[in-house]
Amino acid sequence: MHDDETCDTAGSVSAGRDTFLDHDVEAAVYDATRGGAPRAAAAAAAVLSLVPDAARALLDIGCGTGLVTERLGRPGLRVLGADFSPGMARMAAGRVEGVVLADARRLPLPDASVDAVSAVWLLHLVPDARTAVAEAARVLRPGGVFVTTVDKDAGHDVGSDIDAVLAPYRTARAYDRAARIEAFAAAHGLGPAGETHFTGHGLGRSPRRTAQALLRGEYASRLTARGAVAEKLAAELSALPEPDEPRAEPRYRVLALRRSSASSPPPH
């Protein structure tokens, strides 16, 4: 399948990294700027609601600082984390036992070794989401589930004045759009197994916060604005009324995709 996973080079800056967000730099401010514990608790509850009771091992890919990962534990469930940013992985290791420095597209785990893989706010950052989904499918046991956020940036579309300003720059090509992820999943033996949502507590965006996030590259696959255009758009956002007043809180979509129970390995 040809898709857009390799064509958005505007966001690529350094070897092996897919967006212009510097995750090592982000690590220091991440928890304070992404909703902290309330957002993490809501995300973890959503993920766990889609993980079967019988699951014994869960791998959280793109685990970041581990704020969500540490909340994924429950009796009988061993939780591991993986992230490719040394800064993020170091912070997660302070919270969760069993954190590995690893790219989601090349996991250092054997085939069929875990019962669940979670990815919270990861795939919108990964142009090559197809390989990440394939890896999740590979490490899942038959009957295991891949639980992932999809349409992450669209969760912020709440019908506000900010949305109106951003509208001309929106793409329909977000790396984590649901139909795209479901198609990759199907190609690797994962079928629909439920969905839920969680609220981004404290993450209602203000015009100024949106401008800063835009300039940091947070909307890399959702908006076309880059460079000077992004700067102009950021200025336009900051000129909106009540620029520091948060608009409505976002709502994020979470899908569960189950590996078929047939014992054959998923196609690579």
Which phi and psi angles does 78 have, rounded to 5°?
A: -90, 130
Write the interaction track for ligand SAM spanning residues 128-167; mark x where CB under 6 A is met and - where it is not: ----------------------------------------
Give the rounded distance of the alpha carbon of 162 from its chain centre: 22
Specify the residue, 221 or 240, whose C-beta has the smaller distance to ligand SAM. Answer: 221
Distance CA 221, CA 248 (A): 22
Q: Looking at 120, 203, 254, 255, which residue binds ligand SAM (CB under 6 A)?
A: 120
Task: Give the footprint of ligand SAM on residues 174-213 (CB under 6 A).
Answer: none
Q: At which residue do the structure tokens 């696959």 appear? A: 221
Task: Give the footprint of ligand SAM on residues 74-93 (CB under 6 A).
Answer: 83-85, 88
SS (H, E, C) 115-138: EEEEECCCHHHCCCHHHHHHHHHH
Question: Is residue 23 involved in binding ligand SAM (CB under 6 A)?
Answer: yes
Which of 157, 138, 160, 137 has its CA nearest to residue 147? Answer: 137
The answer for residues whose C-beta is within 8 angstroms of residue 128's C-beta and 6 or more apart is 5, 6, 18, 105
How does DSSP assign 233-250, residue by residue?
Answer: HHHHHHTSSSTTS--SPP
Which of 113, 135, 152, 169 has its CA nearest to residue 35? Answer: 152
Which of 191, 160, 211, 166 has its CA nearest to residue 255? Answer: 191
Q: Looking at 5, 70, 103, 176, which residue binds ligand SAM (CB under 6 A)?
A: 103
Count residues near ligand SAM (CB under 6 A).
19
Question: Is residue 217 involved in binding ligand SAM (CB under 6 A)?
Answer: no
Distance CA 53, CA 74 (A): 10
Q: Looking at 59, 96, 117, 125, which residue binds ligand SAM (CB under 6 A)?
A: 125
Smallest separation (angstroms) from ligand SAM to the CB of 167: 24
Q: Looking at 70, 121, 145, 188, which residue binds ligand SAM (CB under 6 A)?
A: 121
Q: Which stretch, 115-123, 172-180, 190-198, 237-245, contacts ligand SAM (CB under 6 A)?
A: 115-123
Q: Which two tokens stand for residue 198?
A: 């969680």
Task: Give the footprint of ligand SAM on residues 220-239 (CB under 6 A).
Answer: none
Specify the residue, 165 or 178, whose C-beta has the smaller distance to ligand SAM. Answer: 178
Q: Which two tokens stand for residue 48?
A: 């766990």
Q: Looking at 42, 64, 180, 209, which residue binds ligand SAM (CB under 6 A)?
A: 64
Specify the residue, 102 or 166, whose C-beta has the smaller distance to ligand SAM. Answer: 102
Q: Which stretch, 70-78, 97-105, 219-227, 252-260, contacts ligand SAM (CB under 6 A)?
A: 97-105
Q: Which residues bind ligand SAM (CB under 6 A)?
A: 23, 43, 62-64, 67-68, 83-85, 88, 103-105, 120-122, 125-126
